[in-house]
């Protein structure tokens, strides 16, 4: 059987499986060939034997749409339990073999995933650098002299090298985001508790979070959907609240320029300016505004410059204190044992301060839908980090440390290369349970169509062309039902647009015609739940109606159509390309 050696995204693999061009065994063989060819690059701590992975691939049988991760190869960070495989947390002296698989991993397997192995990390998930492991230091896929980021270093590099389709990591202070930035992939840090951490060796248990690395947003989203859900095994697990997710044209907040820090890396600063320019130029899709970044900075300082680090001692202090120094990374050992100095009074005082900051940050998010920041201010060489391990590691958390303390979800996205050829990334953040919103924003950033996520499978895409556009008089009929703006698009060149006579508020009419038109008509595509769509349609008055509308990319969505009799006295405005252009005359 001949198949394409493709980028390992979920969509690519699914197309291969559906068409019969490839089967899961083909992909498993391809992956193990790639891993062997890479040699000892310090990515893997333990590989599932190839024959065992092939056996799992054969056991899957025929492709089925009911298994969303059918035949999808994945890896897990070696702080996450898999029954029968050692969990080392990059410390052989700590190693044990669990009898139960972590909930999130089991969900991935039950959804059809094929586990390839367990990946390298900063010891005890303590670090953002990827250099604190007795199994060696992973390097960025862009340059062997530069760090891969940590602590989920191996998981990120395995994805970036095409050795798996996705990988699970953890993220307490940025470990699911910094490695994504340094390897040019997507890193999703969901809302704390959205994905179970049962079966994860704790770093800071009240702040720990499972994370997903993938080559694109669609893969990340589908994996997150498969592994999310409340879990009785995890006391920190949370259910997604039932609420409308109105988004409209999202307002993106960025830190004031005087509050940004790149630690002398002008190339990274240039990448950030280009990222901001990209957002600024997309006025029809997003709005941009500056915010005061101070409360976020102050929250970040509480994590490792304050008593919250004592939670690491609570998790691992007894083991570290009783283990010979030779078995531990000296930096990790110093961080964990140093946390014992804090008192309960200091912890409570820090909690009071954090609660104040959460209230301030909540006010910031009343005026913005999401925050956009650099994922990391710079990237360092491996030798630089080894020479100055604590300070440089701390710098890398400038834009990540505060997320879990403030109960934010986040998605790290690639943002190109700097002028010196090194990777740069940006991160979108929003309050807890805004994960679906961030996935849609990330799709926009990536330049791909967005989909329905996290329980939104019964939703409907509706194209609007006139008075229901964002900012127009009837838009509230969408936002009041929790509709979210997915994207701006154009119709196929098969429609004529008219300004209808005697309508209040003024409305256009869209008419499909047989003869080709010179251009398509601008529309906005909104997303509603099935229930909200039904109530919306019930309010649409004649002569308007809802039918199938063809977009320029060939997709079909629901949209406004107009009956021909209503065009009496109307003025044709097709050549203007859209209702907004008509209003600007």
Enzyme catalytic residues: 77, 151, 175
What is the strand order of the sheet 571-572 is part of? 508-512, 495-499, 571-572
Integer Cα distance of 212 and 312 in angstroms: 22
User: Given the structure tokens 């309050």, which residue do they identify?
Assistant: 431
Integer Cα distance of 154 and 133 in angstroms: 11
Nearest CA to 77 among 27, 111, 31, 122? 122
Question: SS3 of 571, please?
Answer: strand
Nearest CA to 478 among 535, 550, 435? 535
281 touches 308 (CB < 8 A): no
Integer Cα distance of 478 and 546 in angstroms: 14
Integer Cα distance of 496 and 470 in angstroms: 21
- Strand segments (E) across 261-407: 287-291, 370-374
Integer Cα distance of 358 and 364 in angstroms: 10
Integer Cα distance of 31 and 9 in angstroms: 13
Written in H, E and C, the secondary structure of 348-365 is: HHHHHHHHHHHHHHHHHC
Nearest CA to 526 among 183, 172, 186, 247? 247
Parallel/antiparallel/unpaired status of strands 73-77 and 114-119:
parallel
User: Given the structure tokens 């039932």, which residue do they identify?
Assistant: 242
Question: SS3 of 486, please?
Answer: strand
The greatest distance separating any two alpha carbons of the chain, rounded to the nearest whole angstrom, comes to 88
């Amino acid at each position: 059987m001949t198949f394409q050696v493709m980028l390992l995204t979920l969509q690519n693999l699914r197309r291969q499986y559906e068409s019969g061009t490839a089967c899961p065994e083909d992909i498993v063989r391809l992956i193990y060939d790639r891993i062997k060819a890479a040699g000892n690059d310090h990515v893997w701590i333990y590989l599932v034997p190839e024959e065992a992975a092939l056996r799992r691939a054969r056991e899957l049988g025929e492709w089925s749409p009911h298994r969303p991760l059918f035949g999808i190869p994945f890896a897990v960070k070696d702080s996450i339990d898999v029954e029968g495989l050692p969990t080392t947390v990059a410390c052989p002296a700590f190693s044990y073999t669990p009898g139960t698989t972590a909930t999130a991993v089991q969900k991935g397997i039950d959804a059809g995933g094929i586990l390839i192995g367990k990946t390298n990390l900063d010891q005890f998930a303590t670090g953002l650098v990827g250099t604190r492991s007795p199994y060696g230091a992973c390097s960025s896929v862009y340059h062997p002299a530069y760090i891969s980021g940590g602590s989920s270093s191996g998981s990120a590099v395995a994805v970036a090298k095409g050795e798996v389709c996705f990988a699970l990591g953890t993220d307490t202070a940025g470990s699911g985001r910094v490695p994504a930035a340094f390897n040019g992939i997507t890193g999703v840090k969901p809302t704390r508790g959205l994905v179970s951490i049962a079966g994860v060796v704790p770093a800071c248990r009240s702040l720990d979070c499972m994370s997903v690395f993938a080559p694109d947003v669609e893969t990340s989203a589908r994996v997150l959907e498969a592994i999310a859900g409340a879990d009785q095994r995890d006391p920190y697990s949370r259910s997604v609240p039932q609420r409308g997710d109105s988004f409209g044209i999202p307002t993106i907040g960025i830190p004031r320029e005087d509050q940004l820090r790149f630690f002398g890396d002008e190339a990274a600063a240039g990448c950030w300016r280009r990222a901001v320019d990209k957002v600024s130029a997309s006025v029809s899709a997003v709005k941009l505004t500056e915010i005061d970044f101070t409360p976020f900075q102050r929250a970040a300082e509480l994590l490792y410059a304050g008593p919250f680090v004592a939670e690491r001692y609570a998790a691992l202090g007894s083991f570290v204190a009783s283990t010979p120094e030779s078995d531990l990374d000296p930096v990790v050992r110093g961080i964990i044992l140093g946390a014992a100095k804090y008192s309960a009074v200091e912890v409570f005082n820090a909690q009071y301060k954090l609660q104040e900051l959460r209230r301030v940050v909540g006010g910031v998010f009343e005026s913005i839908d999401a925050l956009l920041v650099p994922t990391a201010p710079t990237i360092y060489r491996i030798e630089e980090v080894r020479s100055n391990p604590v300070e440089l590691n701390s710098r890398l958390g400038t834009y990540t440390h505060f997320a879990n303390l403030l109960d934010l979800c986040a998605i790290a996205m690639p943002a190109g290369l700097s002028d010196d050829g090194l990777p740069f990334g940006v991160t979108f953040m929003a309050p807890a349970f805004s994960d679906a919103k961030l996935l849609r924003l990330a799709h926009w950033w990536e330049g791909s169509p967005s989909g329905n996520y996290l329980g939104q499978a019964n939703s409907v895409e509706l194209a609007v062309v006139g008075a229901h556009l964002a900012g127009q008089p009837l838009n509230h009929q969408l936002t009041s039902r929790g509709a979210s703006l997915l994207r701006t698009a154009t119709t196929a060149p098969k429609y004529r647009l008219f300004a209808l006579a005697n309508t209040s508020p003024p409305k256009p009419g869209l008419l499909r015609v047989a003869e080709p038109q010179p251009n398509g008509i601008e529309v906005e595509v909104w997303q509603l739940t099935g229930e909200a769509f039904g109530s919306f349609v019930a309010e649409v008055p004649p002569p308007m109606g809802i039918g199938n509308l063809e977009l320029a990319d060939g997709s079909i969505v629901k949209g406004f159509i107009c009956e021909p009799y209503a065009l009496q006295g109307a003025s044709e405005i097709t050549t203007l390309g859209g209702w907004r252009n008509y209003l600007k005359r």
